[in-house]
Amino acid sequence: MNGHAGFQRLAMLGVTLAIFAGVWMLSGCGGDRQTEPSRIAPASAESKADLPTRTAAVAAAHPLAVEAGLAVLERGGSAADAAVAVQAMLSLVEPQSSGIAGGAFLLHYQAETGEVIAFDGRETAPAKAESGMFLNADGEPLDWFDAIIGGRATGVPGVMPMLGAAQERFGRLPWSALFDESIAAAQEGFPVPERLARFAAGGRWPQANQPDLIELLSDDDGERITAGQIWRNPDFAQTLREMAERGPRSLLEPPLSTAIIERTAALPLPGKLQQADFDAYQPGSGEPICGHFRGYRICVPPPPSSGVSILQMLAILEHTDIAERGPDDPMAWLQFAEASRLMFADRDRYIADPAFVDIPLAGLLDPAYIAERASLIGDRAGPLPGAGRPPGFEFGEDEGFRQTGTSHFVVVDSEGNVVSMTTSVESIFGSGRVVGGFFLNNQLTDFSFRPDIDGIPVANAVAPGKRPRSSMSPVLVFDADDRLVAALGSPGGSAILVYNAKTLVGLLAWGLSLQEAVDLPNLVALGENFFGEAARFPEPVLAGLVELGIEVRPGRGEESGLHGMVFHPDGRLEGAADSRREGTWRSLDE
């Protein structure tokens, strides 16, 4: 079974899980506590057809990406059309985070029918991939910083074929009309963003010292680009012209695919991609997986996305009084941290590509199992939690934290159709290797480097044609009347899961605005480590956490880049952009 078939098989399970979760909430298991109203207004008695037409809007990680999406919407394009334009521009202005040679997960909401479709654009391993491809001659895992710049780290890129599938189904404009703004910016130049300049300058990321990157991100005098400087990428402009003319699979066909194969075949750690791998690639699509929290239905993509882990974490938190405590209570953050640790322990053991392993999804969300996991949360930080034993299969535990280059954006069109999409090249600037003015992904390092642990197979081990587990988890939120009330997501490696969960808790449990929820301090509890934004926490909260056995240490990996929108019944949009990055949101009415 290929990755596309596995996604469809598991996506169909999403219907069952949504019904299962709904029965669980109605039965009172974890849901017997009085649900307090959030600040999101409930749906009125009027029908969906009578609701006001929403204005079109975009929230993304850079103003130029927002403007590119709005330009397409203003020309009559749909949310799916605008998503293509946003990704093309992000590939230019934020190449350290995402690109046309990366991968993505997308949730599409169709306002007319209420249908949600999950699209899978995750990369695949080559047919000649071997289970030990990330082990050295002694059978030990390669050093991660060596592996991420190797040719074998690159998988078949899936984001553009995935966007092509979504746009073919829901687009209104020709594919060729979606690249005008990004082609112009690449050809004529744009001011270098501060984040791009910061990562391009060097530092501990080995990609920044690769010859390809230095050549691409240097000015005419051979100096690294600096913030505010006008930078042009004519090679990328030409790549976008080819893509506009030849369609979403142009990256998977010669001459671009040939150039990618040749570049990944070079030392160090040459890869094994062949044209047959590109020819075989198909994006996945199907039902999302949905669970419930505080009376709301939360929908995420199925594996190999780890979105189900967000649902599990929220389900565990339903067994606590976190909603009554609020963000200024150290005990609330203790509960959040302990639920995070439990979630990560299960995620690292069980989540992988469903085309290759049987994942105990129903077991991970089983009410009795959730209650069992929640019972481990006490009034102090507990001992190191291991993975639980949900009804299902047993696997060896994978490594936990990954640091990645990723971005998230949300688009809504004038008809109320919505795209929530998380997109990535994996590490900062991917592998640091360049073809056609864009960086190649190194997503295959999201596989477990070890194929087994003490003889027990690892679910997320490398296999030919397999898709690596991903933390990318775009989110859609619905109320009890199935009205779409929010769309959001974040970059941040494995921390994506808790960044999204934090925002959902703030929005749905603590009654904060979306921007207030985004601005809450980040806390990532994984194993024995409690990483977080100590400077953002109030001092009484930090002191209280210390008394509870948690010392919040400065963060690890990328900062969050949360972007999202709340949709009110009167048609009003409430957007949010993470101040930790350079993003913004804007509607056509502004």
- Residue-wise burial string across 306-317, b where 16 or more C-beta atoms lie within 10 A, e elsewhere: bbbbbbbbbbbb
Total residue count of the chain as it appears in this document: 590
Query: And the tokens for 249?
Result: 């699979």
Instruction: Specify the amino acid at residue 538.
Output: P
Q: Which residue bears the tokens 């999403």?
A: 14
* Residue closest to 197 by CA, chosen among 101, 59, 95: 95
Give catalytic residues, as residue numbers. Answer: 406
Question: Which stretches does DSSP call E strand in 199-239?
Answer: 230-231
Q: What 3 state SS string does 286-307 have? A: ECCEEEEECCEEEEECCCCECH
Which alpha helices (H) appear in 247-329, and where do they start and end? 256-264, 275-280, 307-317, 322-325
Query: Using omega within 30 degrees of 0 as the cis cutoff, is the peptide bond preceding 268 cis?
Result: yes
Indicate the helix (H) or strand (E) that contains 518: helix 514-519
- How far is 220 from 231, CA to CA, in rounded Å? 10
Q: Three-state DSSP class for 84?
A: helix
Contacts of 18 (CB under 8 A, 6+ apart): 289, 290, 291, 297, 299
Count the Cβ atoms, other than its own, within 10 Å of residue 276: 11
- How far is 266 from 179, CA to CA, in rounded Å? 31
- The residues facing 314 across adjacent strands are none
Count the Cβ atoms, other than its own, within 10 Å of residue 225: 17
Query: And the tokens for 263?
Result: 């570049």
- How far is 329 from 314, CA to CA, in rounded Å? 18
Helix/strand number for the chain, H first, E second: 19, 21
Q: Which residue bears the tokens 């921390």?
A: 495
Contacts of 415 (CB under 8 A, 6+ apart): 53, 54, 78, 111, 112
Instruction: Specify the amino acid at residue 507.
Output: L
Q: Which residue bears the tokens 């006490």?
A: 378
